[in-house]
Amino acid sequence: MESEGLTIERLGLAPDTLAGEVAVVTGGGRGIGREVVRSLAWLGAKVVIAEISVDGFETERAVIQAGGDARCIQTDISREDEVKRLAEHAQSVYGRVTMVVNNAILCPAVPVLEMDVRTWDQVMGVNLRGAFLTCRAFLPGMIELGHGTIINMISTEAMPLLSAYMASKQGLLAFSQSLAAEVAGKGIRVVAFAPGFVATPGLIAVAERLAPVMGIRTEAFLNMPLHSGYAGSMPAADAGAATAYLAAALADVYHGESTNGFTVLERAGFLKTAGSNTCEQAGAGLGKPIKENGQDLFTQGAQAGNQLIRVLGETAANFERFPIFIRPFARNGFKTKAELNLQDWQHTAQRWAELFQKAAKGDLAAVEILSQGEALAAGLLQKLRTYFWGEPAEAARFTKDEQFLREARRISEERIGVVDTLISVFENIRK
């Protein structure tokens, strides 16, 4: 299949990676959905475009002109009878469906006090009920084959004016996790996927009302850089490629879990993590000298543990200062790089500090727990170190204030020093 400007071509997958697969993409007429269709078709899948508008037929033509195989079936996925017709038509054209991407959305920007029940029900009907109906329609065939992939598109959390949309997407996350548990051992992979911050027609349509509520200009809102690999929002072609790459290469990895487009494109080697190339070399020796014997080692561990608790508390407070729309991306970026979410890291640091305090007082049980967990702790701390090393580069995407950036670098070095001290303590426990 020949194409122009498809990001999927640059992700290292062969054009026949999905040969033999039949995919249904809801809302495939424009935006991310259109690019998902094009990317799956480039990988060799036959694609059914379930789209309520005539835009789906334009996507169909684009795929066929590029040498791919696609068929648009005009469908209102909130209606049970239409989803049943979709399933029957898809099977009559292509046979058994092996992939479903639930991408269709309804996203009105309406305050809760101004929202009528009809609007709320329409959003739930498309975003949540629609996903349930398509999964229920196509799962039996997948189970019979012992093979299938379902990707349910979710979103971030807690945005003003989007209560119905966000509620539906959080519900879809829980639905995906429950469904994954139900199909365990049946060869079906279910993933909840947040594509990224993409300036789609849907987002642009609500931006003029949403941006002022968040205290920023519409243009600034649409061009917020939430990853170091982008100067602004993610192109729809990249989001579509990330979805297709997830389906083709990472569905087993993320079965029963959620992930996002930035993470998938990093794993594909398309995006680089801030600071990833220099983190291992930089900041060496920032930790305090370690005394290898006696209770001094555990006392130092307790002190470093308490410092880490403080540092993580500062990180949490910084997240709360971000605009409400940025916070979920900040928290997710932390978890992606540091492996644990911020709350779990705070709990872990608290536990380490308490264990070191007990060990410093001669508690042999605490010493044994710390010794047994040395390798795991050191590995986790290296991940946290990566996150702290990348903080100045992240800050530089949002401001050019040199004084602020110098302070960001100083704080980063201090935090890396705390982490290095703890790594050194753990490494010396068994010596």
| 127 shares a domain with 14 | yes
Sequence-ordered list of residues with C-beta below 8 angstroms from that of 122, at least 6 positions apart, any chain: 78, 106
pTM of the entire predicted model: 0.74
User: Over the stretch 64-99, which tens digit does the pLDDT of each residue have?
Assistant: 999 999 999 999 999 999 999 999 999 999 999 999
| 178 shares a domain with 78 | yes
Cross-strand partners of 102:
152
**165 included as an active-site residue:** yes
Highest mean pLDDT among 156-160, 276-280, 329-333, 366-370: 366-370
Active-site residue (options: 94, 165, 230, 254): 165
| 173 shares a domain with 129 | yes
| 232 shares a domain with 309 | no
Query: Measured between alpha carbons, how far is 415 from 275 in angstroms, rounded to an integer?
Result: 15
Q: Which domain holds residue 410?
A: 295-428
| 180 shares a domain with 35 | yes
Query: Average pLDDT, stretch 275-295?
Result: 44
Q: Is 216 exposed, middle or buried (0-12, 13-18, 19+ CB in 10 A)?
A: middle
Residue 137 inside a domain? The answer is yes
Residue 45 inside a domain? The answer is yes
Query: Measured between alpha carbons, how far is 191 from 206 in angstroms, rounded to an integer?
Result: 27
| 110 shares a domain with 57 | yes
Residue 290 inside a domain? The answer is no
Query: Does residue 282 have a pLDDT over 70?
Result: no
Whichever domain contains 249, its CATH number is: 3.40.50.720
Residue 2 inside a domain? The answer is no
3-state secondary structure at position 20: coil
| 351 shares a domain with 209 | no
Calculated CA dihedral for residues 369, 375, 381, 387, nearest 10 degrees: -150
Number of structural domains, the chain?
2
Copy the structure tokens of residue 88. Answer: 């029957």
Query: Average pLDDT, stretch 14-31?
Result: 97
Residue 144 inside a domain? The answer is yes
| 338 shares a domain with 259 | no
